[in-house]
């Protein structure tokens, strides 16, 4: 802080000038170069119409394990990874945790000695505080491929509070405390990128594009790497999991996902509707694919249709749609009201017998 005396219009005035803090004045070129080596560009396909087919990820092991946001691009059968030096690989999703809104992927090749964040060490550090200076790295707007560097944006932690966000008609999967950032960092393709401090130490994971449920304005946030969530196991038990444990168990191949419907099989009739990936807690039942020759194909259903009502009952989520359809047996008919572009259509669907070799989703 410095004090200066000035004369304004002949009147002596005492002006108090607060100089910028030293960290904000320091160049961060070397930090950006170091972090960029630990960040990857992800390319896949989306299940939701209008969402980008690219994203960002964080290397968390020398063998190519990647932490990213649990978003739509992971549903691709051709997930690709571009490294900082131009190498590119295919990758596979190992585990997802919707309650934390993160996932761990793995480069589908033998790699070693990749630059990476020591996640356990980072998670053991104290959380950032309001006013702390930070950097956000991402492949927003598909700005980078192969060896091109990622976008770097500087900001501060503006606030820390529970996340109350929404995209379209579904709420955000994670509702714990997040870093709200004074900067436009949650752009298309940014989800899954790292947020670091001025030293390049990992603080959080950039979230997806969401609007506040309170103000209906776009929000910019990151999920802290110390985040925790209550998850439901298949046997009905609720346990608390933190991101460090999720990362560790995922790398070891031991993580148990929190999807209570994972072990269930459809017991109802066959319809032939394949829905988009159930990536969040209340994903709407959008149609991703229709099996050829199935009852759904004969009824005229198409990809990108949104199921709104089932026999007159609102079905706002994939889980509810599947729960209802399990109660409908072969030979029975249901009435679906679907949204196709900007029209609402009524479709009669008569279910068949489940195929012997492969059950429908």
What digits encode the pLDDT tens for the residues 234-290? 666 778 899 999 999 999 999 987 654 443 444 689 999 999 877 665 789 999 899
What is the pLDDT at residue 25? 63
0.85 surpassed by pTM: no
* pLDDT at site 3: 39
DSSP code of residue 148: P
238 class by beta-carbon count within 10 Å (0-12 exposed, 13-18 middle, 19+ buried): exposed
- Is residue 8's pLDDT more than 60? no
Give the number of C-alpha atoms closer than 13 A to the C-alpha of residue 156, restricted to the C-beta side: 10
What does pLDDT average to over the chain? 85
**Domains plus CATH for the chain?**
25-224 (2.40.10.120), 273-350 (2.30.42.10)
Q: What is the pLDDT of residues 103-145, one digit of tens each?
A: 999 999 999 999 999 999 999 999 999 999 999 999 999 999 9
What is the pLDDT at residue 169? 43
Around Cβ 21, how many Cβ atoms within 10 Å?
A: 10
- Average pLDDT over every residue of 182-207: 96
Q: Among 87-96, 180-189, 324-333, where is mean pLDDT lowest? A: 324-333
pLDDT band with cut points at 50, 70 and 90 for residue 360: very low
**Could you say which DSSP state residue 343 is in?**
E
Tell me the per-residue pLDDT of 33-64, one tens digit each, with 9 for 90 and over.
999 999 999 998 754 556 789 999 999 999 99
């Amino acid at each position: 802080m410095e004090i200066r005396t000035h004369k304004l219009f002949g009147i002596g005035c005492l002006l108090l000038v607060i100089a910028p803090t030293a960290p904000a004045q320091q160049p961060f070129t070397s930090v950006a170069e170091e972090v960029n080596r630990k960040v990857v560009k992800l390319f896949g396909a989306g299940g939701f119409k209008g969402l980008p087919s690219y994203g960002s990820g964080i290397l968390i092991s020398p063998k190519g394990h990647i932490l990213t946001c649990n978003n739509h691009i992971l549903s691709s059968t051709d997930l690709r990874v571009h490294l900082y030096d131009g190498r590119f690989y295919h990758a596979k999703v190992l585990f997802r945790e919707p309650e934390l809104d993160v996932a761990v992927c793995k480069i589908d090749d033998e790699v070693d000695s990749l630059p990476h964040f020591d996640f356990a060490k980072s998670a053991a550090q104290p959380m950032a505080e309001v006013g702390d200076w930070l950097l956000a790295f991402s492949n927003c707007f598909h700005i980078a491929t192969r060896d091109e560097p990622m976008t770097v944006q500087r900001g501060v932690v503006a606030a820390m509070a529970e996340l109350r966000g929404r995209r379209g008609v579904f709420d955000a999967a994670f509702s714990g405390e997040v870093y709200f950032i004074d900067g436009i960092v949650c752009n298309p393709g940014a989800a899954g990128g790292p947020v670091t401090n001025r030293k390049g130490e990992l603080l959080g994971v950039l979230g997806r594009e969401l609007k506040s449920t309170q103000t209906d304005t776009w929000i910019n946030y990151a999920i802290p790497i110390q985040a925790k969530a209550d998850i439901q196991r298949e046997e009905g038990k609720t346990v608390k999991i933190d991101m460090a444990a999720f990362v560790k168990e995922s790398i070891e191949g031991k993580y148990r996902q929190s999807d209570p419907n994972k072990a269930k099989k459809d017991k109802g009739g066959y319809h032939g509707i394949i829905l988009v990936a159930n990536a969040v807690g209340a994903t709407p039942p959008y149609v991703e694919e229709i099996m050829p020759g199935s009852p759904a194909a004969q009824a005229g259903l198409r990809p990108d249709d949104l199921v709104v009502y089932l026999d007159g009952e609102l079905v706002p989520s994939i889980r509810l749609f599947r729960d209802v359809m399990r109660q409908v047996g072969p030979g029975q008919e249901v009435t679906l009201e679907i949204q196709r572009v900007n029209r609402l259509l009524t479709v009669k669907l008569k279910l068949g017998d489940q195929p012997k070799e492969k059950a429908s989703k």
